[in-house]
Chain A
């Protein structure tokens, strides 16, 4: 009997052994490289930093977590949450018409084209996308030029004059940060929404109008509830990605810190690993809660 046949027979008689053989490499990799280092890092949140020496004190304490609630730190968390929520809502509003159009009206070649039109920006370089917006939002860039050509410079100025979200130019304002976030994560909202809409049977819509539902009622009571799991699935991405991003606010925005940047600075230049770890726990906990709610609303089937 050949060697491969003998091994096959052995594996056939020990199906669990075979399963273990398949699972072991990826599990070990993720277990050690990902979960292992993650838990070691997060464990640091229970330590604190010695204020004089700057070294980590390896004693169990909750004081580092308490520090999160200091005003300047808590600000960062709130700011990130507000931004993530705003980006998610805006993504829903922009994504829905496109997804609805692609799901209900596009056929054959057009459907494929629409799919590619979403896939390309989704997969294309993150940095290039951010860079493109740096070009667009710059004071001398296309938006200012367009506003000038259309004699709408006053409107742009009024927009930038709004406190908090405005700033000296779009590329140095929350408004700019927000725009770029929406742009970069939008495809993640479109795809699951469209997939959910594709699954709404056309005869349900016909049935609703047959029963006397106006288009608006049909939308509110039939289409939207059925698309909701897809929208929630998409929101998992837009919310989580915005919450953890530290590059976009660094390049476009008014140098106010978001969660990601704070963590990055804390573990890097500030060297405060315990507080960085405590800050990292925040998005993990938020996403945990978010995923639990999403799962209850059936969003996982729409992924």
Chain B
């Protein structure tokens, strides 16, 4: 390891990048307390906490949050099952077409979200499926599944394959091996994948605009506010709420997978 410090210029460039990434998010906190209603004036002319109370009273926001939570919960649940199955199959065996199938599994996030959204929209149109919670869930599960798949697959790759053989060798059948060896090994990866999937679904807007119809999830509500700003201070408060709801699972997922690196043997 080299002992000398980093060049000053490099340090400045790196810090500037950190500032670039984080200052915009911090500004939102500031704006949530502004007294200015009509514009994005900086610096804010005055400060107030009243907007939080006003948001609390708004039924349309609560409804949007409710729908978002419902969709994210169902989509995460389905994604956990589908993503784990896919990861287990891909990690477990070499079979014909394995590479193509693994490519298919990451395609929903490799292709722009608009492609997934528009494809689903036209399919709903052709099959005369009316928009409902389930049409949103259908779209979200498609990409949430990929997140779970990636997380669980990474864990499977880190855990020694001989562990499963050792369990069977000691007399455990497939179910016992799954319960006592596989599940404990992948539990934290499942939890992390589930949390990220939840955060992703809770925040998703591109696919949702195509599959929601007249329904309003929280991001759709925000998008409408962005295109036609009517209630700027309220949007600020909702934005803070969204940041809070997504940060918690992201940080938790980070710590879970980091923990996993210690128990799962070799790191990345």
Contacts and interface: CB of A to CB of B under 8 A. Distances in A.
A5 B123 CA distance: 42
A35 B243 CA distance: 32
Interface string A236-275: 1000110111110011000000001001100100000100
A34 B142 contact: yes
A124 B25 CA distance: 9
A240 B107 CA distance: 12
Given A22-B88, A105-B5, A132-B24, A125 B105 contact: no
A165 B222 CA distance: 27
Interface of A: 4-5, 7-9, 11-12, 15-16, 18-19, 22-23, 25-27, 29-31, 33-38, 40-42, 44, 94-95, 97-98, 100-102, 104-105, 112, 115-121, 123-136, 138, 140-142, 144-145, 183, 186-187, 190, 202, 206, 236, 240-241, 243-247, 250-251, 260, 263-264, 267, 273, 276, 280, 283-284, 287, 291
B123 A41 contact: yes
Given A101-B6, A123-B196, 11 more contacts: A7-B174, A22-B85, A26-B145, A30-B108, A37-B119, A101-B11, A121-B25, A124-B25, A131-B28, A280-B115, A284-B115
B250 A140 contact: no
Nearest to B104: A30
A15 B93 CA distance: 10
A8 B122 contact: no
Interface residues of B, number: 83
Given A7-B174, A141-B42, A127 B205 contact: yes
B101 A23 contact: yes
B82 interface: yes
B116 interface: yes
B142 A29 contact: yes
B226 A124 contact: no
B85 A240 contact: no
Contact of A26 (B82, B121, B203, B251): B82
A16 B92 CA distance: 11
B11 to A, nearest CB: 7
A25 B114 contact: no
B2 to A, nearest CB: 6
B10 interface: yes
Given A19-B89, A98-B14, A116-B254, A131 B239 contact: yes
A127 B13 contact: no
11 contacts: A4-B173, A8-B175, A26-B105, A29-B82, A33-B123, A97-B14, A98-B13, A98-B18, A101-B13, A124-B247, A132-B239
B54 interface: no
Contact of B17 (A5, A12, A97, A126): A97
A273 B206 contact: no
B219 A119 contact: no
A121 B111 CA distance: 21
Interface in B95-117: 95, 101, 104-105, 107-108, 110-116
Interface string B121-139: 1110010000000000010
Given A34-B116, A97-B13, A142-B42, A125 B20 contact: no
A135 B40 contact: yes
